[in-house]
Chains A and B, each alone.
Chain A
Amino acid sequence: MAQQQKAVDVVLVGLGWTNAIMGMELAQEGLNVLALERGEDRDTVPDFAYPKMADELTYGVRYKLMVKPAKSTITVRHSLTETAVPYRHLGSFLPGDGVGGAGTHWNGHTWRPMPEELRLRSYVEETFGKNIMPMDMTIQDYGVSYEELEPHFDFFDKVLGVSGKAGNINGKIQAGGNPFEGPRSNEYPLPPLKRTLNDDLFTEAAKAQGLHPFPLPSSNASEAYTNPYGMQLGPCNFCGFCERYGCINYSKASPQTSILGALKQHKNFAYRTGCEVIKVNLADDKKTAIGVTYIDGNGEEVFQPAKIVVVGTFAYNNVRLLLLSGIGQPYDPVSNTGTVGRNYAYQMMGGATLFFKDKVFNPFIGAGSNATTVDDFAINQIDFAKEGFIGGSYLLAAQTNGQPIRNLPLPQGSPSWGTGWKKAAKDYYGHSMTISSHGSNMSYRDCYLSLDPNYKDNHGLPLLRLTFDWKENDLRMTQFMKNKVGALAKGLNPDFLKMSFKDIGTHYDVRPYQSTHNVGGAIMGTDPKTSVLNRYQQSWDVHNVFVLGSSSFPQNLQYNPTMLVGALAYWSAKAIREQYLKHPGPLVQA
Chain B
Amino acid sequence: MKRNLIMMLLPLALLATTEAQAFDKATIDKGEYLSRAGDCIACHSIPGGKPFAGGLAIDSPFGKIYSTNITPSKTAGIGNYTLAQFDAALRHGKRADGSNLYPAMPYPDYAMLTADDVKALYAYFMDGVTAVDQKAPETALSFPFNQRWGISFWNWMFANDKAYQAKTSKSDSFNRGAYLVQGLGHCGSCHSPRGIAFQEKGYDESDNSFLSGGKIGIWTAPSLRGGDKGALANWSKAEIVDYLANGRNDTTAVAGEMTSVIEHSLSYLSQDDLAAIADYLKSLPGDGNSLAMTAAATKKTSDELDSAKVGINSGARLYLDSCGACHFTQGQGAARVFPKLDGNALVNAKDPSGLIHVVLAGARLPSTKGAPEALAMPAFGWRLNDDEVAQLLTFVRHAWNNQAPAVTAADVAKVRQTIPQTVMNATRP
Residues of chain B in range 79-110 having any CB-CB distance to chain A below 8 Å: none
A325 CB → nearest B CB, Å: 21
A34 → chain B closest CB, angstroms: 14
CB proximity of B381 to chain A, nearest CB, Å? 12
Q: A224 touching B367 by the CB < 8 A rule?
A: no
- Shortest Cβ distance from B337 into A: residue: A234
On A, residues with C-beta under 8 Å from B are 9, 29-32, 43-46, 49-52, 55, 58, 223-224, 226, 229-235, 237, 239, 248-250, 257, 261-262, 264-265, 307-308, 580-582, 584
16 contacts between A and B (CB under 8 A): A29-B2, A45-B427, A46-B378, A46-B427, A50-B378, A52-B427, A52-B429, A58-B429, A223-B334, A224-B334, A230-B372, A232-B373, A233-B337, A250-B337, A264-B367, A265-B372
Inter-subunit contact B367/A265 (CB<8 Å): yes
- Residue pair B1, A307 in contact (C-beta under 8 Å): yes
Tell whether, in the assembled complex, residue B325 and residue A262 are in contact, meaning their CB atoms are under 8 Å apart.
Answer: no
B299 within 8 A of A: no
Q: In the complex, which residues of chain A have a beta carbon less than 8 angstroms from the beta carbon of B326?
A: 234, 237, 249
Q: Is the CB of A231 within 8 A of B373?
A: yes
Q: Which residues of B contact A58 (CB under 8 A)?
A: 429
Name the one of B328, B372, B376 contacting A231, with C-beta atoms under 8 angstroms: B372
Residues A230 and B429 in contact in the complex (CB < 8 Å), given A45-B362, A239-B325: no
Q: Which residue of B lies closest to A58 (CB)?
A: B429
Task: Knowing A239-B325, A581-B2 are in contact, say whether A230-B427 is a contact too (CB < 8 A).
Answer: no
Question: Contact: B1 with A46, CB < 8 Å?
Answer: no
Indicate whether B375 reaches chain A with its CB closer than 8 angstroms. Answer: yes
Q: Which residues of A contact B325 (CB under 8 A)?
A: 50, 237, 239, 248-249
**B336 neighbours in A (Cβ, 8 Å):** 224, 226, 232
- Docked Cα-Cα span, A233 to B335, in Å, equals 10
Contacts A237-B328, A257-B373 aside, 8 further interface pairs with beta carbons under 8 A come to: A45-B362, A49-B378, A52-B429, A224-B334, A224-B335, A237-B325, A237-B326, A249-B326
0 or 1 for each of B352-369: is its CB under 8 Å from A? (1 = yes): 000000000010100101
Known: A58-B429, A231-B372, A261-B374. A45 touches B364 (CB 8 A): yes
Q: What residues of B have a CB within 8 angstroms of the CB of A46 in the complex?
A: 378, 426-427
B338 interfacial contact with A, CB 8 Å: yes
Decide if B370 is an interface residue (CB 8 Å cutoff): yes
- What is the CB-to-nearest-CB distance from B383 to chain A, in angstroms, rounded to a whole number? 8
Say yes or no for B269: interface residue by CB 8 A criterion: no
Q: Is the interface of A mostly helix, strand, loop or mixed?
A: loop
Q: Is the CB of B337 within 8 A of A232?
A: yes
Most buried by A among B338, B378, B383: B378
A232 and B429 contact, CB distance less than 8 A: no
Taking a contact as CB atoms under 8 Å apart, the answer to whether B373 and A262 are in contact is: yes
- Give chain B nearest CB distance to A222 CB in angstroms: 11
CB distance from B416 to the nearest CB of A (A): 19
Q: Quick one: closest B residue to A268, CB to CB? A: B5
Q: Are A261 and B426 in contact (CB under 8 A)?
A: no
Cβ contact within 8 Å between B337 and A229: no
Complex contacts, B414 vs chain A, CB 8 Å: none
Known: A232-B336, A265-B367. A49 touches B427 (CB 8 A): yes
Quick check: B369 and A265 within 8 Å, CB to CB? yes
Task: Compute how far the CA of A248 lies from the CA of B1 in the bound complex, rounded to whole angstroms.
Answer: 41
Beta-carbon nearest neighbor of A307 in chain B: B1
Would you call B371 an interface residue if the criterion is a C-beta within 8 Å of the partner chain's C-beta atoms?
A: yes
**In whole Å, how far is A103's beta carbon from the nearest beta carbon of chain B?**
16
On whether A45 and B377 interact (CB within 8 A), knowing A55-B429, A581-B1, A582-B2, the answer reads yes
Question: Which residues of B sit under 8 angstroms from A248, Cβ to Cβ?
Answer: 325
Question: How far is it, in angstroms, between the C-alpha of A307 and the C-alpha of B375 when the chains are bound?
Answer: 34
Tell me the complex Cα distance, A262–B383, Å: 31
* B428 on the A face (CB < 8 A): yes
Q: Once the chains are docked, how many angstroms separate the CA of A9 from the CA of B324?
A: 46
B427 to chain A: closest residue by CB: A49
Residues of B contacting A582 in the complex (Cβ-Cβ under 8 angstroms):
2
What 0/1 readout, one digit per residue, does chain B (320-359) give for beta carbons within 8 Å of chain A?
Answer: 0010111010000011111000000000000000000000
Q: Which of A45, A224, A581, A582 has the most CB atoms of chain B within a 10 A radius of its CB?
A: A45
Interface centre among B5, B372, B383 (most CB of A within 10 A): B372
A201 CB to nearest B CB, Å: 25
Min CB distance A465 to B, Å, is: 37
Cα separation A248 to B362 with both chains bound (whole Å): 14
Minimum CB–CB distance from A540 to chain B (whole Å) comes to 20
Q: Which of A9, A45, A49, A223 contacts B5 (CB 8 A)?
A: A9
A584 & B369 in contact (Cβ 8 Å cutoff):
no
Interface hits, B112-130 → A, CB 8 Å: none
**Chain B residue nearest in CB terms to A29:** B2
A residues near B371, Cβ cutoff 8 Å: 226, 230, 232
With a CB–CB cut-off of 8 A, which chain B residues contact A51? 322, 383
Closest A-B pairs by Cβ, 5 of them: A49-B378, A45-B376, A49-B427, A52-B429, A224-B334
Q: Write out the residue numbers on chain B whose beta carbons fall within 8 Å of the beta carbon of A237.
A: 324-326, 328
Q: In the bound complex, how far is the Cα of B335 from the Cα of A580, in angstroms?
A: 41
Residues of the A chain whose Cβ atoms lie less than 8 Å from the Cβ of B335: 224
How long is the Cα–Cα vector from A545 to B428 in the complex, in angstroms? 41
Distance, CA A32 to CA B9, complexed state (A): 11
Q: Which of B324, B325, B369, B377 has the most CB of A within 10 A?
A: B325
The residue in chain A whose Cβ has the minimal distance to the Cβ of B321 is A51
> How far, in whole Å, are A536 and B239 apart by their CA atoms in the complex?
44
What are the residues of chain B within 8 A of A234 when measuring CB–CB? 326, 334, 337-338
Complex: chain A residue closest to B369, CB-CB:
A265
> Which chain B residue lies CB-closest to A576?
B1
- In angstroms, Cα B76 to Cα A9, docked, is 38
Chain B residue nearest in CB terms to A225: B337
B427 touches A584 (CB 8 A): no
A221 → B minimal CB distance (Å)? 9
* Chain B, range 376-402, C-beta contacts under 8 Å to A: 376-378, 383
Q: Which residues of A contact B5 (CB under 8 A)?
A: 9, 30-32
Chain B residue nearest to A577 (CB atoms) is B2
Contact pick for B1, options A44, A226, A262, A584, CB 8 Å: A584
Contact of A235 among B2, B334, B383 (CB under 8 A): B334
Kindly identify which residue among A45, A239, A262 contacts B372, using a CB–CB cutoff of 8 Å.
A262
List B contacts of A265 (CB < 8 A).
Answer: 367, 369, 372
**Across the interface, do A9 and B427 meet the contact criterion of CB distance under 8 Å?**
no
Compute how far the CA of A232 lies from the CA of B376 in the bound complex, rounded to whole angstroms: 12
**When chains A and B are docked, how far (Å) is the Cα of A51 from the Cα of B372?**
25
A235 CA / B362 CA spacing, docked (Å): 20
Cα separation A31 to B6 with both chains bound (whole Å)? 10
How far apart sit A262 and B2, CA to CA, in the bound complex (Å)?
Answer: 23
Nearest B residue to A256 by beta-carbon distance?
A: B373
CA distance in complex: A32, B5 (Å): 9
Query: How near does chain B come to A149, taking the closest CB pair, in angstroms?
Result: 25
Contact A230 B337 (CB under 8 A): no
* Smallest CB gap from B323: residue in A: A50
In the bound complex, residues from chain B placing their C-beta under 8 Å from that of A232 are: 336-337, 371, 373, 375
In the assembled complex, the Cα of A524 lies from the Cα of B372 at a distance in Å of 34
Q: Nearest chain A CB to B342's CB is how many angstroms away?
A: 16
Give bound CA distance, A581 to B426, whole Å: 43
A30 in contact with B2 given A49-B378, A52-B428, A264-B367 (CB within 8 Å): yes
CB distance from B111 to the nearest CB of A (A): 35
Q: In the complex, what distance in Å separates the CA atom of A265 from the CA atom of B371?
A: 10
A257 to B372 CA separation, bound complex (whole angstroms): 10
Bound form: Cα–Cα A58–B426 in Å: 18
Complex CA gap A505/B15 in Å reads 72
Q: How far is the CA of A229 from the CA of B337 in the complex (A)?
A: 15
Cβ contacts under 8 Å, A257 to chain B: 373
A307 proximity list for chain B (CB < 8 A): 1
Partner of A224, one of B324, B337, B369: B337
A238 to B375, CA, bound (A): 19
Residue of A nearest to B367 (CB): A261
**How far does the Cβ of B210 sit from chain A's closest Cβ, in whole Å?**
34
A52 CB contacts on chain B under 8 angstroms = 427-429
Q: How far is the CB of A539 from chain B (nearest CB, A)?
A: 17
